[in-house]
Amino acid sequence: MKYSFFADYSEGAHPEILKCLVDHNDDQDLTYGNDKYCALASKRILKRFNIKDGEVHFISSGTLANVVGLSSMLKPFEGIIAPSTGHINVHEAGAIEAVGHKIIYLDTPDGKLTPDHIEKAMLTYEDEHTVIPRILYLTQSTETANLYTKAELKSVIDRAKFHGLYVFVDGARLPMAFASAKSDMTPEEFGALGIDMFYIGGTKNGGLFGEAIVITNPLLQPYFRNHMKQRGAILGKARAIGAQFARFFDEDDLFIKVAKHACDGAKKMYDGLVELGIEFENEALVNQIFPIFETVHLDELEKLYGFYRYEKIGNDKQKIRLVISWATPQSAIEEFLKDVKTILG
């Protein structure tokens, strides 16, 4: 296989991240996240998002970040409003339900929730016989490679607040939302939207492992580490995640730079495929694109490249997913385009 476009976490860590792990390896420091790296990373993250009175914690995986973060906000009989495409609803093996909470999921045309979705979900609440909706769960950028605009986010968050909901943003690919050429939002602006808790993905953006969860609402901060510990989410050497995020949020904005490489690569791939006459249903917003190929061409393409066959379109076509990562070299994209051209004949 020449190259895999299967995922943005098929390699180890970005060289700068790896370097910082090496550089900081030998110091003795406190365990369980009480170290200077975690402290520095927290400070830098809060500054970059311009969040006062926030708290940051470091967790090894996205699913665990969702489980701990969401469950920490809920009473046993409270639930979460989410799009049906949300990661917690489809790709976490029922992790949220396993800790006791209902996901009130809603079908969406594009993976994004609107104020109307919230209204619909709120109708399910009657009294003690029904789950109380308490959290609005959003993903930015979405699992379907979509982006909320600032105005869209604002309107859905405002409606959530009107109904007394907390807002949680799954940011497994949040850096791409700032790095996208279509982004209309800075981290500072994102930090001012009234989100109660969100997490910033490391794994899919060049980190070796680990995600940073940011609690902007001070009422949700007490006992958070107890929740983490009980779910197995405090690492003995959490310092290793802290060090990565301290580097990501150093003055050069590495977390955005790295994501930009991926988003720009996806745009380049998109433009190249369009030029070759390949159809798309959506434009390239972040680092995943979904070209529609004639099925007959895919077998040959699959001999050379890794990718995910997403969905059949009619009898003869198939949508595939190409993920461009922080690590994808320009040459891999160019080679792919050349090979597609050859295959299409």
Closest CB to a second copy among residues 193, 322: 322
- CB 235 to a second copy: min, Å: 5
- Answer yes or no whether residue 236 interacts with a second copy by CB under 8 A: yes
d(CA 175, CA 17): 15
- CB 19 to a second copy: min, Å: 9
Stretch that binds a second copy, among 122-130, 255-263, 279-287, 291-299 (CB under 8 A): 122-130
- Answer yes or no whether residue 235 interacts with a second copy by CB under 8 A: yes
- CB 177 to a second copy: min, Å: 19
Q: Among 43, 116, 149, 237, indicate the residue that binds a second copy (CB under 8 A).
A: 237
Among 228, 198, 234, which Cα is nearest to 99's? 228
115 phi, psi to nearest 5 deg: -55, -35
Give residues 60-99 in contact with a second copy (rule: CB under 8 A).
Answer: 60-67, 71, 75-77, 79, 90-95, 97-99
d(CA 47, CA 65): 21
Closest CB to a second copy among residues 227, 247: 227
Q: Is 33 exposed, middle or buried (0-12, 13-18, 19+ CB in 10 A)?
A: buried
DSSP-derived secondary structure letter, 214: E
Q: Give, in degrees to the nearest 5, the angle at Cα 320 between 113 and 13.
A: 80
Q: Among 43, 130, 281, 338, indicate the residue that binds a second copy (CB under 8 A).
A: 130
Closest CB to a second copy among residues 220, 276: 220
199 phi, psi to nearest 5 deg: -125, 150
- CB 42 to a second copy: min, Å: 17
Cα–Cα distances (Å) from 58 to 78, 219, 225, 252, in that order, read: 25, 19, 10, 21
- Answer yes or no whether residue 220 interacts with a second copy by CB under 8 A: no
Give residues 240-269 in contact with a second copy (rule: CB under 8 A).
Answer: 240
- Answer yes or no whether residue 56 interacts with a second copy by CB under 8 A: no
Give residues 132-171 in contact with a second copy (rule: CB under 8 A).
Answer: 132
| Contact predicate 308/91, CB 8 Å | no
Total residues contacting a second copy by CB under 8 A comes to 76
Give residues 185-204 in contact with a second copy (rule: CB under 8 A).
Answer: 203-204
3-state SS, residue 169: strand
